Amino acid sequence: MVNPSLLIAVPLAFAFSIPLFGLVSKKIGKYIPVVALLINVGISFILIPQILKKPAVVSIGGWSPPFCINLVVGPLGVFLVTLISSIGLLVAIYAISYIKEEPTEKYHMLFLLLITGATGIVLTGDIFNLFVFFEILCISSYALVAYNKDKEGTEAAMKYLIQGSVGSSFVLIGIALLYGMFGTLNMADIASRVTSADPTFLFISLAFLITGFGIEAAVFPLNAWLPDAHSSAPSSISAILSGIAIKTGVYGVARMIYTIFNADGILTFIAFLGLLTLLIGEMSAFRQNDIKRLLAYSSIGQIGLIVFALGIATSLGVFAGLFQIVSHALAKALLFLAAGYMIYRVGSKSIDSLSGLGRKMPLTSFAFTIGSFSLIGLPPFAGFISKFSIVYAAIQVKKPIFLVFVVIALIATVIEAGYFFKVVQNLYFKEGKNVDNVTETSGYIIVPMIILVISIIVIGIHPQFITGLLKGAAGELLGRTGYIGWVLGGS
């Protein structure tokens, strides 16, 4: 069996060695993330069948938990790792020729470390280690948002940095309170002791932790940073931030609520917050005229939908939420990559300037169309299945309030369809003004987009490729005694 700690050690070693490769040739640096993430994708695909049979708990340093940091590779962990490294690999391929702004070497280092941070977050079983990897993810994304060094980019990065570091401070306060109460940092150990503590104390620490992770996840009152940061970063980074980084925030919230605190009482409130986020995100997206801002607000909406589905808290609801994570990650990465290249060719971010591109850049426009259709939830794409199962799960709860929620979610979907159709119509059925010398792209740019389109369609037609893994992952989130047993009992 492959040791899962390699999933973190290998990209770290590659990231540290990029300056050394830079001595040999300046051109090697941009291929290093591809190589490292290719190894990661390989390892995670080897791990999937083994993990589905028996989850692995790997200690770092050789002592038994809870006395050392351990990685917990359950179905949820291996699912998210596979998603993170695959999307990361595709974006890394895209970035080979997309990133031209100097210093490219530093971009590739930061990018690889961002992916490492996300991988560490979903694998670790120690709450302080979770915080450290969370900081790795956040700090590298602050630097990458400011990477273009233009006015919007630096301002957005400043905004993101201030709110993000207040968020991580809150996470650290929550961790400190938990350590003061239980004297341990292992998540399973905390979870097994959590019933012995005072409920108000637990609520306070949970509030700190959820606020902290909620800022990264951009749940409603805490999402002021997201539209700026996602729209002014380089497009490859927007794809990673929308596709992966905010999902790790959602993972943090879900892990805290389900596994550590077992806080059933606030789940309806969480579902309500998710719905509010969905509605606000979609309504703001409708008014945008900047294509990247539109996509960023749509990300807020989709995160709301995921949080809503996780708040339903039946096994079908969690399953649907995880499916939505997959379909949103694929579709939004595709949309940002396609939009980024169109912007690069046209030279303007406004939707009107993209009109007529359907004929000039047929492949890119086609990819954009597929991505937006999947996001709206049209069959036969991946988004259809996830949205359908969310609605189905919400109806099955048989509480009247969830029926109201479903109606609101459907209204939000209609709004979403409205603005995406507007963009697609702009692409195909309007005469462009200054797009005469725009040409289609090739090579490293188009390969990741084609792979994403194919996977969206394949998952849409044959969802059984991933349903087994997702059911296991949902079972891991809902079955906290099982999680505690893997780490503390048995081996």
Partner 1 sequence: MSGIYNWMYYIASGGLILIGLYIVLVKTNLIKIVIGLNFIDTGINILLICIGYVRGRTAPIFSRPGISPANVVDPVPQALVLTAIVIGVAVLALALSIVIKVYQHNKTLNVTKIKGLKW
Partner 2 sequence: MRRIVSIIILIIIAVGFIFAFSKIPFGKDKINVANYYIKKGIKQTGAVNIVTSVVLNYRGFDTLGEVTVLFIAAVGLGAVLFVERKIQKNMDDKEDKTKRASLILRTGSRLLFPLILLFGAYIFVHGHLTPGGGFQGGAIIASGFLLMYLAFPKQRINKKTSGLAESLSGLIFVGIGLLGLVFSGYFLTNFLPKGIPNTLFSAGIIPIIYIAIGFKVGFELTGIIDDLLERSR
Least Å distance, CB 218 to partner 1, is 14
Select the residue interacting with partner 1 from 137, 156, 209, 253 (CB under 8 A): 156
Q: What is the size of the binding site for partner 2 (CB under 8 A)?
A: 66
By CB under 8 A, tell whether 158 contacts partner 1. yes
Q: How many whole angstroms separate alpha carbon 176 and alpha carbon 178?
A: 5
> In the stretch 23-42, what mask flags binding to partner 2 with x, by CB under 8 A?
x-------------------
By CB under 8 A, tell whether 155 contacts partner 2. no
Q: Decide whether 16 or 429 has the Cβ nearer to partner 2.
A: 16
From 27-35, 171-179, 291-299, 359-367, give the range in contact with partner 1 by CB under 8 A. 171-179
Half-sphere exposure of 349 (CA within 13 A, CB side): 17
189 contacts 65 by C-beta, under 8 angstroms: yes
Binds 298: which of partner 2, partner 1, none (CB < 5-8 Å by kind): none
From 19-27, 225-233, 241-249, 413-421, give the range in contact with partner 2 by CB under 8 A. 19-27
Q: Decide whether 182 or 428 has the Cβ nearer to partner 1.
A: 182
By CB under 8 A, tell whether 148 contacts partner 1. no
Phi, psi values for residue 72, rounded to 5°: -110, 110
Q: How many whole angstroms separate alpha carbon 151 and alpha carbon 156?
A: 9
Instruction: Go through 254-293 and write b for each residue having 16 or more CB atoms within 10 A of its CB, e for each that does not.
Output: bbbbbbbbebeebbbebbbbbbbbbbbbbbbbbebebbbb
Q: How many whole angstroms separate alpha carbon 314 and alpha carbon 475?
A: 10
Q: Residue 223: helix, strand or coil by DSSP?
A: coil
Contacts for 92 with CB less than 8 Å, ≥ 6 apart = 33, 34, 37, 108, 111, 112
Least Å distance, CB 156 to partner 1, is 6
Select the residue interacting with partner 1 from 6, 10, 172, 283 (CB under 8 A): 172
Q: Residue 59: helix, strand or coil by DSSP?
A: strand
Pairing of strands 70-73, 56-59: antiparallel
The answer for 149, left when phi > 0, alpha when psi is -120 to 50, beta otherwise, is: left
By CB under 8 A, tell whether 88 contacts partner 2. no
Least Å distance, CB 173 to partner 1, is 6
By CB under 8 A, tell whether 17 contacts partner 2. yes
Contacts 24+ apart (CB under 8 A), 190-198: 190/127, 190/260, 191/259, 191/260, 191/261, 191/262, 191/480, 191/483, 191/484, 192/484, 192/488, 194/260, 194/261, 194/262
Number of H helices, E strands in the chain: 21, 2
Binds 162: which of partner 1, partner 2, none (CB < 5-8 Å by kind): partner 1
By CB under 8 A, tell whether 142 contacts partner 1. yes
> In the stretch 56-85, what mask flags binding to partner 2 with x, by CB under 8 A?
--xxxxxx--xxxx----------------
Q: Decide whether 156 or 427 has the Cβ nearer to partner 2.
A: 156
DSSP state letter for 341: H
By CB under 8 A, tell whether 158 contacts partner 2. no
Between residue 173 and residue 202, which ones bind partner 2 under the rule CB under 8 A?
177, 180-186, 189, 197-198, 200-201
Residues in contact with partner 2 by CB under 8 A are 3, 5-6, 9, 12-13, 16-20, 23, 58-63, 66-69, 102-103, 106-107, 109-110, 113, 116, 120, 124, 126, 128-129, 132-133, 135-136, 139-140, 142-144, 146-147, 149, 154, 157, 177, 180-186, 189, 197-198, 200-201, 204-205, 207-208
Residues in contact with partner 1 by CB under 8 A are 128, 132, 135, 139, 142-143, 146, 149-152, 154-159, 161-162, 165-166, 169, 172-173, 176, 179-180, 183, 185, 224, 228
